[in-house]
Structure 1
Amino acid sequence: MPTVVFDVGNVLIRWDPFRVYREMIPDDEKRTWFLQNVCTAAWNLEQDRGRSWEEGVALLVASHPEWEAQIRAYDERWHEAVPGLIEDSVSVLEELKGRGDKVYAITNFSREKWAECLVRFPFLQSFDGVVVSAHERVIKPDPAIYRILLERYDLAPADCIFVDDSARNIETARQLGMKGVHFVEPIDLRAELSRHGVAF
């Protein structure tokens, strides 16, 4: 039986930082500019790589003091960017677990927010193994983070199906010998997993 390996953000829980700023920065163009030039994806990834939110916010405030309130909101109001579960995906995970399958996860996530999400979303504690980028100080799509999972939990790449919303992350998984499901809604995750040999 194949082993399913999940990403978390935008596969199991929704994440959209624009949600935090719809009221703070009402102008669409200015809001987009802010998230492309101040609180950038690259800046956020450094928290996923292990930098503390305190340090990341301080560095950005020093560079962009005129945006201090908005920068701090990215951290302090982070959970507003995570409105809830992707119900179908969580039901697939729970079905797999309920019948005794082992399930794993590789996720780019900051240390602080991961700890908070384990409390907010208890199902995240149900994995048989999870590799969190901030804990390892390496982020997808670096092949090293996939190898950590495979070696730590003695998994054969050919037996694994990796589900992620990023095409780059899926490509790395495939290069390492894993199968990949690119998670883009609308998607029938059960059907996609069935194509790779998972029975439902």
Structure 2
Amino acid sequence: MTPQAVIFDIGNVLIEWQPERFFDAQIGQERRRALFAAIDLHAMNDRVDRGENFTSVLEETAANHPDFHDAVMLWHDRWLDMASPAIDHSVRLMRALQGRGVPVFSLTNFGIETYALAETKYPFLREFDRDFISGHMGTIKPDPTIYRMLEEATGLSGDALLFTDDRADNIAQASSRGWQTHHFTGSAGWADRLVAEGLLTQEDAQ
């Protein structure tokens, strides 16, 4: 079945998200390893993505780990530098689909405040036909609830949906619901999949 809508994850699909790389550049690999060993920063970020206040969560985490206070606050103060750069080819693919009349939705683990911040740097985040942002939904991938909420909001389910995400666990949950899926490992492979599905021409997918 030709998909009726295409769903994009954002982190590492439309915008690079590599916190370890950022911290390596800022504080060095050895200090970064110690930081990430002492504090589960990805679990901290999950709290934000579930809808907790970005500043409050970061300040609490920094206060609870005084030895790493300043490093933790880099996650807050330099967030836009960490969520960088845009994956330009993926952005072109998103717009090409919309140019062909294909609805494009987001389904992303993203905080309320951080998404608003990201929109200031990446205007294409305002261009989705429908936004499904975990912070506003109160749940994150791969919890099945967030997928069900999208289905209920759009009236689409199963193989009417084609979803791309860089995380295998998120893809597996979508597949279990009958969605068509693509494990994103690079924009070229995603472009090829969209052409194979008949959603874009080779020219569109450049």
- Whether the TM-score (by the shorter chain) exceeds 0.5 is yes
CA RMSD of aligned residues (A): 1.7
Deviation readout 1:91-135 (Å, 9 max, x if unpaired): 110101112211111000011110111221111111111110000
Task: Give the secondary-structure state (helix, strand or coil) at the position aligned to 2:93.
Answer: helix
- Residue in structure 2 matched with residue 80 of structure 1 by the alignment: 81
Partner Cα distance (1:199, 1:94) in 2: 11
5+ residue gaps, structure 2, are: 202-206
- Residue in structure 2 matched with residue 8 of structure 1 by the alignment: 10
Deviation readout 1:7-48 (Å, 9 max, x if unpaired): 00100111111343234422x233123124325211111111
Deviation readout 1:130-184 (Å, 9 max, x if unpaired): 1100001100000111111111111122111110000000000000110110001
Counterpart contact for 1:130–1:149, Cα < 8 Å:
no
Range that drifts further, 188-197 or 48-57? 188-197
Aligned length: 199
Task: Give the secondary-structure state (helix, strand or coil) at the position aligned to 1:5.
Answer: strand
Percent identity between the two aligned chains = 34
Counterpart contact for 2:159–2:178, Cα < 8 Å:
yes
Q: 1:94 to 1:36 in 2, by over 3 A?
A: farther
Q: 1:66 to 1:40 in 2, by over 3 A?
A: same
- Residue in structure 2 matched with residue 66 of structure 1 by the alignment: 67
Task: Give the secondary-structure state (helix, strand or coil) at the position aligned to 2:96.
Answer: helix
TM-score (norm 2): 0.90
Task: Give the secondary-structure state (helix, strand or coil) at the position aligned to 2:60.
Answer: helix
Partner Cα distance (2:114, 2:30) in 1: 28
Matching of residue 21 in structure 1 with residue 18 in structure 2: no
Deviation at 1:197, TM superposition (A): 4.5
Partner Cα distance (1:193, 1:36) in 2: 39
- Residue in structure 2 matched with residue 52 of structure 1 by the alignment: 53
5+ residue gaps, structure 1, are: none
TM-score (norm 1): 0.92
TM alignment of 1:146-165, pairs within 5 A:
146-165=147-166
- Residue in structure 1 matched with residue 140 of structure 2 by the alignment: 139
Counterpart contact for 2:6–2:105, Cα < 8 Å:
yes
